[in-house]
Amino acid sequence: MKKITVLILILLTVNSLLSFAPVVSQPLPYSHDYPKDYFRNPLDIPIQLAANFGELRTNHYHMGLDIRTNQRENLPVRAAAEGYISKIKIERYGFGRAIYINHPNGFTTLYAHLNDFYPALNDYIVNKQYADQQWEQEITFDPGQFPVAKGQFIAYSGNTGGSQGPHLHFEIRDTESGNNLNPLLFGFGLNDKIDPFIYRLYYYDRRYSTYQVSPISIPIRGINGNYSSVNNVVSLSSPYISFGITAEDKTTPSSFRFGIYQASLSVDDSLQSEFLLDNISYDDTRYINGSIDYKTRLSGGSYIQHLSRLPGNYSSIFSRAGSGDILLTDTSVHTAEIIVKDAAGNASALTFKFRWNPSKTEELMFAANSIPMMPAKENVLKTEDLEAVFSPKAFYDTVPFVLRSETSADTKIVSAIHHLHNFRVPVHDSFTVRIKPTALLSDELKDKVIMQLVSNHKVEAVKGEWVNDALQAKFRDLGIVKLLLDTIPPRVSAAGFSNGGSVRNRKSITIVATDNVGEIRSFKAFLDGRWLMFSRKSDSFIHTFDYRTTPGTHELDVIVEDMAGNVTEKTYTFIR
C-alpha cells in the first residue's frame, strides 16, 4: 500500500500541473431544431455519400457532405433552397470553384469543386478576373445581385481545387456565426439503419504526455452494435489513464465508411466525457489534431479518437462532462461504457471492466536532451543561431521537445540544418522561426535566400523577412528548417502541344511550372500582348479556349517567378 500511496501523491501533483489549462466548451446541443424539409438535394440524382460531416482528415474535420456524382463531371447543381448568392470563391486548393448561398431562414449553403457557374454568374466572374488580371477570386454580393429560387440551376459539378475525384462538396452553415452544421441533421431522406462500427480500444498512461507514451491496445470483440473486451477484466499498468477508440460509420452496405457523430465515456455509471460533431467553425477545425492520437496517425497507424480533452485542446466539440482522464485511487474493478452514435441515432455500445494493477506500473523519464514545451503558455526555443517562438495555443499536450542541429557541405545551404523535434507532434497555430546564416551574404544574395521547411512529405519555402541578421518566417508544422540560397529560376514547359504547332483540335492548353525548392509565387501569361487567364491545378496552369483566342497564329508569353524572385520567361507560338 505504501507504493500505491506514493504513486497517488505523485499523480495528484501531476494532475494539478496538467489542469492549469481552462476547459472552455459549450454544452452539447442534443435537441436540434434544424428544419428537416427546407433544403432539397442539390443534385438531380439520389444522394450517395463519399464522405460525411466530421470525417477525420489531415488537419481538419470534413465540414460537409461529399456527394457522389457517379464518377462524372458537369452534372447540374441546383440551389438547395431559395436565397441569394452571397459569395463565390475560386482557388487553387481547397474548394476550387465554390458558391455560397444565403437563405432567409438564417442558414448558408456551400457548393464546392464546381466547374462552370451558370451563364450570368460565370460571365460576371470572368469579366472581373480579366479586369483584375487575377484568376483566384473571392467576391461577395449584395442580396439583389444574384437571387436564386429553390432548385434553380447554379453550376456544373466538377473536380476542381483539392478534390481527388469528381464529386460535389456540400455544406450547411449558420449564417450569423459562420459555423458549419452537420447536414445529416437536416433530413435529405437518407435511410440509415446501420449501427457504427467500433474496431479498436486503447488506453493511455496519462501520468505522462500523450506525445511521450504510446497507446496500449485493449482487445475487443463484438458485432451488430454490441461490443466488449476480450478479457473479463482489463488489467491497467497505470492508475491515471484515458481511453481512445477507432470507430467508423456506414449508411449503406457499400464499401464507403464515414466518421462517427458522437461518442461518450461513462465509468461506474458516471459520465466522464463526450463529444459531438456538429456546429464547428473553420477556425476550430484544426483542433482535430488534439482530438486524435496525432503521433500514431503520422507514424502510419489508424485514426484513434481521444475520449478525453487534452490540456491544450479548446475545441467546442467536447461537453462540460469532464476531461475524460480517470484517476484510480484503488485497485478495485470498475465498469466502463462507451457509446458511439451516428447522426441518424443508431448507437453501438462497448462495455468492459478494468482495474489498476500496481505490479505492472513503471516509471518513465523525459529524454535527457529534451525541453518540456507546455500547453497554455508561450514557449521560446533559443540558441546562438536559431530562435523559435510558439504561442500559448501551439501545443495540445506537453511536448518533450528535442532540437538537433547539423552543418552541411552543400553550398546552397547557408545555415545550419535545424531539426525542430519531429513532424509527429502537431502545432495548432503559426509559430515564428528566426535563423542566422552561417555564410557572409551581400544584400543582393540575401534577397535570394528563402527558408525551407521539410515536414514529412511536405516541402514549404517562404521568402520571409530579414530582422537584423536573421531571416524570419512562419510555419505551422514541425520538421527540418534551413536557409537556402536559391538562384535557379523555375522550370517551364508546354504540356500536350508543341511550340509552333496547331491546337485546332484542343479545348485547352497547359503550361507546367515547377521550382527546385518550393512553390511557384506567380504565373502570368499574355496572348499577343494581352493578359490571358490560366486556372491552376497543382503545378499545371490551364487555359480553356474562348472567344479571346481567335482562329489564326498567336504568340503566348509566359512569365513565372519563384519564392526567391527568380524569373523564367518563355514564348510559345501556336495555331488556333
Q: What single string gives the DSSP state of each residue in 71-102?
A: T-S--EEE-SSSEEEEEEEE-SSTTSEEEEEE
Q: Distance between CA atoms of 18 and 14, rounded to whole angstroms? A: 6
Of 93, 130, 221, nearest in space to 547 by CA: 130
Question: For 420-437, what is each residue's pLDDT tens digit?
Answer: 999 999 999 999 999 999
Residue-wise DSSP of 468-516: TTEEEEEEEE-SEEEEEE--PPPEEEEESS-TT-B-TT-SEEEEEEE-S
- pLDDT for position 21: 35
Domain 2-20+192-360 has CATH 3.40.50.300: no
CATH code reported for the domain at 371-485: 2.60.220.30
For residue 217, what is the enclosing H or E element?
strand 216-218
Q: How far apart are CA 576 and CA 570, in angstroms?
A: 19
Residue 111 in contact with residue 98, Cβ under 8 Å?
Answer: yes
Residue-level pLDDT at 190 = 86
Looking at residue 32, its pLDDT comes to 67
pLDDT at position 34: 94
- CB of 351 within 8 A of CB of 228? yes
- CA–CA distance, 337 with 269 (Å, rounded to integer): 8
How many CB atoms lie under 10 A from the CB of residue 353? Answer: 14
CATH among 3.40.50.12780, 1.10.150.120, 2.60.40.3780, 3.30.830.10 for 491-575: 2.60.40.3780
What is the distance between the alpha carbons of residues 227 and 87, in angstroms, rounded to a whole number? 47
In this chain, the answer to whether the domains covering 49-186 and 371-485 adopt an identical fold is no
pLDDT at 31: 46
**Alpha-carbon Rg of the chain, whole angstroms?**
27
* Run of H or E residues at 173: strand 167-174
215: cell is: 497507446
Going by C-beta distance under 8 Å and a sequence separation of 6 or more, which residues neighbour residue 422?
A: 402, 478, 479
What lies within 8 Å, CB to CB, of 364 at 6+ separation is 205, 207, 208, 212, 213
Q: Indicate the burial class of 491 (C-beta count within 10 angstroms; 0-12, 13-18, 19 or more).
A: middle
Q: In the prediction, which pLDDT does 29 show?
A: 44
Q: Which residues contact 75 (CB under 8 A, 6 or more apart)?
A: 43, 44, 45, 69, 156, 157, 168
What pTM was computed for the model? 0.91
The domain spans of the chain are 2-20+192-360, 49-186, 371-485, 491-575
Query: Residue ranges of the chain with pLDDT lower than 70?
Result: 1-32
Residues near 339 by beta carbon (within 8 Å), at least 6 away in sequence: 262, 263, 264, 266, 347, 348, 349
Give pLDDT tens digits for 195-245: 999 999 999 999 999 999 999 999 999 999 999 999 999 999 999 999 999
Tallying the residues shown for the chain, one arrives at: 576
> Distance between CA atoms of 396 and 509, rounded to whole angstroms?
47
Quick one: 389 exposed, middle or buried, by C-beta within 10 A (0-12, 13-18, 19+)?
middle
At position 25, the amino acid (one-letter code) is S
CATH (one of 2.70.70.10, 3.20.20.80, 3.90.1150.10, 1.10.3720.10) for 49-186: 2.70.70.10
